[in-house]
């Protein structure tokens, strides 16, 4: 075992990582499949010589990326927090990048302490696909009515039952969630949809994005959104946007736990 693995008494560590989700089968460990949690746990366990369980702020689906995924784990011993990024950056694969690490109180939980999450969906509107963007954006070359998309999105802000905007097989019984902000920004041929909320259901942001794109293409009226919410049926909403355009953009905790993880 490396001497760097026994330089501190351990404790609870909060780690922020970014990853390219294209070659992962999502965040959560799955037997026989490459996942972010699995790679993190295997790397830490090999480093320490004992199994280290990693807890994430939430699950991302297969192909979804993260700018700021937060995880925590308990170390019986190991490198001090200010060296963990350096240690892990030498051991993790190139598609997982450790950003920061800190020692936290044992009451902190990467998932249950969250007060706000922000996802960003990237739509590329160029006439032709871009080889440097195809892994991280949805190519929609048709003209989009951005004003109509914004009107539609405004109906989703607030507390609602989002049954119509999640996978039909989503395991959660309670489908009520709160969206604090839904904004659309334009930058040349790029369109960015930011969705911040208390928590999200399976495929929720992707279905919201797909539905807003349907509105933007003229296939659905912006004024239908309240009726879609009221229907509480996945069939009432629009398409599911591809996974590769979605990124977990930021996570926010109470100030006592550090507040917002990264600047927006």
Question: How does pLDDT run across 72-101, given as a tens digit for each residue?
Answer: 999 988 788 889 999 999 999 999 999 999
Q: Which fold has domain 3-113?
A: Alpha-Beta Plaits (3.30.70)
Topology given in CATH for the domain delimited by 116-250: Alpha-Beta Plaits (3.30.70)
The β-bridge partners of 139 are 124
Task: With CA atoms as reference, report the closest residue to 13 among 88, 91, 54, 74.
Answer: 74
Q: State the catalytic residue, choosing from 42, 61, 161, 190.
A: 61
Q: For 35-80, how does the pLDDT look when each residue is reduced to its tens digit (9 = 90+)?
A: 999 999 999 999 999 999 999 999 999 999 999 999 999 998 878 8
> Is 61 noted as a catalytic residue in this protein?
yes
Burial code (b: 16+ CB inside 10 Å, e: under 16) for 155-190 equals bbbeebebbbbbeeebeeeebebebeebebeeeeee
Residue 4 has pLDDT above 50, yes or no: no
Q: Is the pTM of this model over 0.85?
A: yes
- At residue 2, the pLDDT reads 42
Is the pLDDT assigned to residue 256 strictly greater than 60? yes
Taking the domains of the chain in order of start, what are their residue ranges?
Answer: 3-113, 116-250
* CATH topology identical between 3-113 and 116-250: yes
Give the whole-angstrom CA distance, residue 247 versus residue 121.
6
Residue 80: Cβ-neighbour burial (10 angstroms; 0-12, 13-18, 19+) = middle
Decide: 177 and 200 in contact? Cβ < 8 Å. Answer: yes
pLDDT of residue 240: 97
> Would you say 119 is a known binding-site residue?
yes
pLDDT in tens, 185-211: 999 999 999 999 999 999 999 999 999
């Amino acid at each position: 075992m490396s001497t760097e693995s026994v330089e501190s008494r351990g404790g609870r560590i909060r780690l922020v990582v970014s990853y390219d989700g294209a070659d992962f089968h999502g965040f959560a460990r799955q037997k026989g499949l490459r996942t972010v949690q699995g790679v993190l746990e295997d790397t830490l366990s090999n480093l320490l010589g004992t199994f280290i369980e990693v807890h994430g702020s939430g699950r991302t689906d297969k192909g979804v990326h993260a700018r700021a995924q937060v995880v925590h784990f308990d170390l019986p011993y190991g490198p001090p927090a200010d060296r963990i990024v350096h240690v892990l950056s030498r051991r993790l694969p190139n598609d997982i990048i450790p950003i920061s690490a800190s020692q936290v109180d044992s009451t902190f939980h990467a998932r249950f302490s969250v007060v706000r999450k922000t996802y960003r969906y990237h739509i590329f509107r160029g006439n032709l696909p871009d080889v440097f963007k195809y892994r991280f954006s949805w190519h929609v070359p048709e003209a989009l009515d951005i004003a109509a998309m914004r009107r539609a999105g405004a109906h989703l802000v607030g507390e609602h039952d989002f049954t119509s905007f999640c996978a039909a097989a989503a395991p959660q019984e309670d489908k009520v969630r709160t969206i604090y902000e839904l904004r659309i920004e334009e930058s040349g041929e790029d369109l960015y949809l930011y969705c911040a909320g208390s928590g999200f259901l399976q495929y929720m942001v992707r279905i919201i994005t797909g539905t807003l794109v349907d509105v933007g293409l003229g296939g659905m009226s912006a004024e239908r959104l309240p009726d879609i919410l009221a229907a509480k049926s996945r069939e009432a909403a629009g398409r599911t946007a591809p996974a590769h355009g979605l990124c977990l953009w930021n996570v926010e905790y109470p100030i006592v736990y550090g507040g917002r993880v990264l600047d927006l």
